[in-house]
């Protein structure tokens, strides 16, 4: 059998426009059957495989939109099985992104629908193999954590003790690593809708964690279990398809700063990247002395000062991108190198993003110069301040975030002078 060609392919081969080719075939058909045939120019000449892929995604979108309009779940599930069969995990993620991009649904609406449409598609999704990676690969580490979480969930359902619930609460480390390391890489591939939805679901789990011993153990276990399913049937397969080896290396590079839940990553995954192949020894650099406004410092000295200050600093430039954070030893909120260059809109949970953007807008317009907050968190009293940074002409150049644990400062009484330094504290 010879090769197949679409009408678009034929037009290209004979250097004619598509309409001329269609008109030619229409006239030949009319001569043969005696009736005029009106051929519509619809498809752009995609292969059968591409057409089927597009068709499946359009049907998925239609099902979810019908579900959003109040369609009955069991009927939609039956229709799904009848007309779509097996669905690829990446189709679900692409569908969510397209619904958000088109304005047909918002991130909040997708979040509300997430459990429902996963419920409709889960039978088909479970038939797809879960990704298996070498120990040390970020996906392998995520999945190892998920296996421990599943064991804890089973134990909680058998005997929901406060100790087990507290141990499962460490899943938040897993979520934080996803948000700070994996999600930024997906955003660089212009694939941000599904990650926004998952971040919103993470926050729902965090709300349960904050309830402590008062939490409904079964609800907590179910929420975590559902997130495992979403990760391993949608997020991870899609990430493996979109990200390169170099991307995964960047994801891995910042993991240690955030930490791991229950497991230690293996070291078998050692990717060979172009940087490794062409690795050369760079000559030692001279300690450049930078002239500051009031003095001179080397780059090393600046880094040492910033990392030893009793405060945490983050700087967002005028383009609303994270340009810097101080890598202090004791962190209030986890951060990793994956956040550098990330739009500030992607660095905050959806529920608080509106307030953050209002602060930045007030800084840009000159309405405000400072925004100040304080809160109790894990037994600590945290003071958070945002400062508008302007140049000598008054032009807005960015926002400085300063955070400090002021628990011990609030407890100070009386006075202690320099002359008293070294005396035993009572």
Residues of the chain above pLDDT 90, percent: 33
Q: Give residue limits of the domains in the chain.
A: 48-125, 138-274, 297-410
Kindly tell me if the per-residue pLDDT of 261 is higher than 70: yes
Cβ atoms within 10 Å of 205's Cβ, excluding its own? 20
Kindly tell me if the per-residue pLDDT of 2 is higher than 50: no
Higher per-residue confidence, 417 vs 165 = 165
Long-range contact set of residues 363-367: C-beta below 8 Å, sequence gap at least 24: 363/388, 363/396, 363/399, 364/396, 366/394, 366/396
Classified as helix, coil or strand, 290 is strand
| pLDDT for the residue 149 | 96
Kindly tell me if the per-residue pLDDT of 332 is higher than 80: yes
Q: What six digits make up the tokens of 273?
A: 């990247």
Domain 138-274 in CATH: superfamily? nmb1532 protein domain like (1.20.120.520)
Kindly tell me if the per-residue pLDDT of 268 is higher than 90: no
Mean pLDDT computed over 375-396: 92
Mean pLDDT computed over 396-405: 94
Higher per-residue confidence, 385 vs 345 = 385
Higher per-residue confidence, 22 vs 222 = 222
Kindly tell me if the per-residue pLDDT of 174 is higher than 60: yes
Strand bridging mode 289-292 / 295-298 = antiparallel
CA separation for the pair 357, 343 (Å, rounded): 11
Kindly tell me if the per-residue pLDDT of 253 is higher than 80: yes
Q: 159: which residues sit within 8 A by CB, 6+ positions away? A: none
| pLDDT for the residue 328 | 85
Q: Does domain 297-410 have CATH number 2.60.40.10?
A: no
Kindly tell me if the per-residue pLDDT of 165 is higher than 90: yes
Lowest mean pLDDT among 31-40, 92-101, 266-275: 31-40
């Amino acid at each position: 059998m010879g090769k197949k060609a679409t009408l678009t392919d034929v037009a290209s081969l004979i250097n004619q426009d598509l309409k001329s080719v269609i008109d030619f075939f229409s006239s030949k058909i009319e001569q043969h059957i005696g009736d005029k045939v009106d051929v519509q120019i619809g498809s752009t000449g995609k292969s059968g495989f591409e057409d089927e892929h597009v068709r499946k995604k359009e049907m998925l979108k239609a099902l979810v939109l019908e579900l959003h309009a109040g369609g009955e779940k069991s009927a939609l599930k039956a229709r799904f099985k009848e007309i779509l069969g097996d669905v690829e995990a990446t189709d679900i993620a692409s569908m969510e992104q397209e619904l958000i991009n088109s304005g047909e649904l918002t991130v909040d609406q997708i979040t509300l629908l997430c459990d429902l449409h996963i419920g409709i598609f889960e039978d088909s999704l479970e038939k797809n193999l879960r990704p298996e990676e070498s120990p040390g690969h970020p996906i392998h580490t995520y999945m190892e954590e998920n296996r421990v979480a599943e064991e804890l969930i089973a134990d909680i359902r058998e005997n929901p003790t406060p100790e087990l619930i507290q141990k499962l609460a460490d899943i938040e480390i897993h979520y934080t690593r996803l948000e700070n390391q994996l999600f930024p890489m997906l955003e660089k591939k212009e694939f941000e809708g599904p990650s926004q939805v998952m971040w919103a679901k993470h926050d729902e789990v965090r709300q349960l964690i904050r309830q402590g011993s008062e939490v409904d153990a079964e609800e907590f276990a179910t929420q975590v279990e559902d997130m495992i399913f979403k990760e391993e049937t949608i997020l991870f397969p899609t990430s493996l398809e979109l990200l390169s080896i170099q991307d995964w290396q960047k994801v891995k590079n910042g993991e240690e700063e955030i930490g791991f839940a229950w497991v230690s990553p293996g070291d078998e995954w050692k990717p060979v990247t172009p940087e490794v192949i062409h690795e050369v020894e760079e000559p030692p650099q001279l300690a450049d002395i930078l002239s500051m406004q009031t003095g001179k410092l080397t780059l090393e000295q600046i880094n040492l000062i910033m990392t030893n200050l009793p405060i945490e600093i983050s700087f967002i430039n005028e383009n609303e991108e994270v340009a810097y954070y101080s890598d202090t030893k004791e962190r209030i909120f986890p951060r990793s190198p994956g956040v550098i260059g990330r739009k500030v809109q992607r660095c905050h949970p959806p529920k608080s993003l509106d307030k953050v953007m209002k602060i930045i807008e007030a800084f840009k317009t000159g309405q405000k110069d400072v925004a100040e907050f304080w809160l109790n968190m894990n037994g600590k009293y945290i003071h958070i301040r945002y400062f508008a940074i302007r140049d000598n002409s008054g032009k807005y150049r960015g926002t400085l975030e300063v955070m400090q644990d002021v628990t011990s400062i609030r407890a100070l009484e009386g006075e202690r002078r320099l002359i008293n330094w070294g005396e035993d504290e009572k």
